[in-house]
């Protein structure tokens, strides 16, 4: 039986990615359940409390943490190779989030490219992303701290991922279905908190 990567949506903007070889990567820990596996890698897009609850994550002496300060100097965006993944930091910013202190991450894992956008509005870099052939794009949609569902829909059209997953729909909830259902990108897909998706 072929093993494949799996992505658990914990809610809000929090994910647990397990590679085909069993490496465990947490992205923006804060919400939901599923913090029972020791982390090989933790990715933090920025230091707001609802993205960096590192105390929820089982850490070991070998856990690698990449925070936004490790991923950009405000001008250059760095890339990393850890845990069978290639990770590229990319711009993330809006009126509530300083571009010098925030990033998104492109994660190449097991032949797939995942885009964890972080808290952002439309960025200049998104115009280049259609050429990257992104498989899954996770875009925030709360409409106050981040994009509205309508802006996220337009961003998805720019990025052209195979699948767009709305996240960060309401910071006070794991998921706000009313907000989520406003997304109209034709290849949008719904992940409910607690859902684990085999990536293929």
Proportion of the chain in helix, strand, coil states, percent, rounded to 5: 15, 30, 55
Domain harbouring 150, CATH code: 3.60.15.10
Q: pLDDT tens digits, residue range 69-122?
A: 999 998 999 999 999 999 999 999 988 999 999 999 999 999 999 999 999 999
Query: How many CB atoms are closer than 10 A to CB 131?
Result: 8
**Would 198 be classed as within a structural domain?**
no
- Spell out a b/e string for 27-64, using b for 16 or more CB atoms within 10 Å of the CB, else e: bbbbbbebbeeebbbbbbbbebebbbbeebbeeeeebe
Residues in the chain: 200
Query: How many CB atoms are closer than 10 A to CB 170?
Result: 18
Q: pLDDT tens digits, residue range 13-70?
A: 999 999 999 999 999 999 999 999 999 999 999 999 999 999 999 999 999 999 999 9
Structural domain count, the chain = 1
**Would 1 be classed as within a structural domain?**
no
pTM value is 0.96
**Would 196 be classed as within a structural domain?**
no
**Would 18 be classed as within a structural domain?**
yes
**Would 101 be classed as within a structural domain?**
yes
**Would 120 be classed as within a structural domain?**
yes
User: Which residue range forms the structural domain that includes residue 12?
Assistant: 6-190
What is the Cα–Cα distance from 60 to 75, expressed in whole angstroms?
A: 32
Task: Give burial (CB, 10 Å; 0-12/13-18/19+) of 71.
Answer: buried
**Would 138 be classed as within a structural domain?**
yes
Distance set, CA 91 to CA 61, 97, 129, 175, 177 (Å): 30, 11, 12, 25, 27
Distance set, CA 125 to CA 102, 147, 159 (Å): 14, 16, 9
**Would 104 be classed as within a structural domain?**
yes
């Amino acid at each position: 039986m072929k093993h494949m990567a799996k992505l658990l949506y914990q809610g809000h903007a929090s994910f647990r990615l397990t590679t085909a070889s069993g490496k465990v990567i947490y992205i923006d820990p804060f919400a939901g359940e599923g913090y029972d596996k020791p982390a090989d890698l933790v990715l933090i897009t920025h230091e707001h409390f609802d993205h960096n609850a590192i105390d929820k994550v089982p850490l070991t002496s070998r856990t690698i943490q990449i925070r936004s300060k490790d991923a950009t100097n405000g001008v250059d965006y760095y890339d990393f190779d850890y845990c069978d993944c290639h990770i590229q930091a990319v711009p993330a910013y809006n009126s509530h989030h300083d571009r010098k202190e925030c990033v998104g991450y492109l994660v190449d894992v097991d032949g797939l490219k995942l885009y964890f956008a972080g808290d952002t509005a439309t960025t200049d870099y998104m115009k280049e992303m259609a050429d990257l052939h992104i498989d899954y794009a996770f875009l925030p949609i709360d409409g106050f701290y981040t994009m509205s569902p309508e802006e996220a829909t337009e961003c998805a059209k720019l990025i052209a991922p195979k699948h767009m997953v709305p996240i960060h729909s309401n910071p006070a909830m794991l998921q706000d279905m009313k907000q989520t259902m406003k997304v109209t990108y034709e290849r949008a897909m719904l992940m409910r908190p607690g859902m684990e998706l085999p990536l293929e």
